[in-house]
Amino acid sequence: VGVLDGWPDTPVLATERLELEPLRVEHAEEAAPLFDDERLHAFIGGRPATVDELRSRYARQVLGHSAGGCERWFNWIVRQRGIGAAVGAVQATVVSQRNGAAADVAWVIASSYQRHGYAREASAAMVAWLRDHGASVITAHIHPDHKASIAVARALGLTRTDVKVRGEVRWLADNHAAGPASQP
Ligand X SMILES: CC(C)(COP(=O)(O)OP(=O)(O)OC[C@H]1O[C@@H](n2cnc3c(N)ncnc32)[C@H](O)[C@@H]1OP(=O)(O)O)[C@@H](O)C(=O)NCCC(=O)NCCS
Letters for 136-155 (x = contact with ligand X by CB under 6 A, - = none) are ----x-x---xxxx-xx--x
CA-CA distance, 150 to 144, in Å (whole number)? 8
- Considering the rule CB under 6 A, would residue 18 count as an interface residue with ligand X? no
Cβ atoms of 89 and 75 within 8 Å: the answer is yes
Q: Does 44 bind ligand X (CB under 6 A)?
A: yes
Among 116, 157, 163, 164, binds ligand X (CB under 6 A): 116
Residue of 13, 109, 130, 137 that binds ligand X (CB under 6 A): 109
Is 24 a binder of ligand X (CB under 6 A)? Answer: no
C-alpha to C-alpha distance for 34 and 37, rounded to whole angstroms = 8
SS3 184: coil
Contact track, ligand X, 153-182, x by CB under 6 A: --x---------------------------
Alpha-carbon span 111 to 175, nearest angstrom: 33
Q: What are phi and psi of 72, to 5 degrees?
A: -105, 140
Nearer to ligand X, 81 or 147 (CB): 147
Nearest CB to ligand X, comparing residues 118 and 129: 118
Interaction residues for ligand X, span 63-102 (CB under 6 A):
none
Question: Is 128 one of the binding residues for ligand X (CB under 6 A)?
Answer: no
Q: Which of 153, 9, 1 minimizes the C-alpha distance to 72?
A: 9
Q: How far is CA 87 from CA 17, 61, 70, 127, 158, in A?
A: 11, 19, 30, 18, 24
Shortest Å distance, C-beta 36 to ligand X: 13
Q: Would you tell me which residues interact with ligand X (CB under 6 A)?
A: 40, 43-44, 106-109, 114-120, 140, 142, 146-149, 151-152, 155
